[in-house]
Amino acid sequence: MSNLFTSSIGKKLLMSLAGLFLIVFLVVHLSINFLVLLNSHEPFNKAAHFMSSNLLIKLMEIILFGGFLIHMIYGLIVSIQNMLARPKNYSQSNNSQSSFFSKYMFHTAVVLTIFLVLHLLDFYIKSKFLGEVSDVVYNGKPYHDLASMVLARFKMGWVVIIYVVALLGLGFHLHHGFQSAFQTLGLNHPVYTPVIKRIGLIYTILVTLGFICIPVLVYYFK
């Protein structure tokens, strides 16, 4: 069991499993975010309340944060180990053979980590711990009015630009990470691999454009 956490293969395996878990989470997160585009704030606020108050969701939240940490920590360790193990002349001579997206996985990971910290500070921390979100009442029950908070943020042009740039970085990261995770898990086959790559590309485009369209639509039309 200790080899799973210390060996290079074990670290990549854990990073891949955590990455696949986060890939599923992004779909759930995106589907909830789309609710903010509705004319009524109620569906989004109630969905956000459910996600923050349900016991099972709270447990999944802990797993989610654990997945983030595992993916980032092992990703950093593996990247550093690869850079140290790769001779300089080897890196230069084989540079053209590397995937364009794989070469910038570390860079996009740094951008996404910074963005994630800012995103959590701006929304999660303020609503959950600082009480900086006003309440709204539906059927006699108070809810945090997160919808108004999100809409107000996305009315700021500089915030929209930061989100779009970060989400493009997410797209770069997902495009390579999706197929790389399956490859690490041993699902590397001349028949299945091209299918996985196509699914990964479709997933990446839909998820990236989906997240990008939310701040853009809010800024221009809400």
Q: pLDDT (tens digit, 0 to 9) for every residue of the chain, 222 residues total?
A: 445 455 566 666 666 777 777 888 889 889 999 999 999 999 999 998 888 777 777 777 777 777 667 767 766 776 676 666 665 544 444 444 345 556 666 677 777 778 888 887 777 777 776 667 888 999 999 998 999 999 999 999 999 999 999 899 888 888 877 777 777 666 666 777 788 888 888 999 999 999 999 999 999 998
**What SS3 class is residue 141?**
strand
Measured CA to CA, the distance from residue 76 to residue 91 in angstroms comes to: 19
Element (DSSP H or E) covering residue 85? helix 55-85
Where are the chain's structural domains? 2-221
Instruction: Name the DSSP letter for residue 136.
Output: E
Return the pLDDT at 177.
75
Measured CA to CA, the distance from residue 184 to residue 9 in angstroms comes to: 8
Return the pLDDT at 216.
96
Tokens of 205: 């485009």
**What SS3 class is residue 165?**
helix
Residues 64, 58 contacting (CB under 8 angstroms): no
Return the pLDDT at 20.
77
Return the pLDDT at 100.
56
Find the angle CA(174)-CA(176)-CA(182) to the nearest 5 degrees. Answer: 95
Tokens of 126: 């303020």
Going 24 to 27 to 31 to 37, the CA torsion angle's sign is positive
Strands 135-138 and 141-144: antiparallel
First to last CA, the chain: 52
Fold of 2-221: 3 helical TM bundles of succinate and fumarate reductases (1.20.1300)
Q: What is the pTM of this model?
A: 0.75
Return the pLDDT at 114.
82
Return the pLDDT at 30.
93
Return the pLDDT at 158.
94
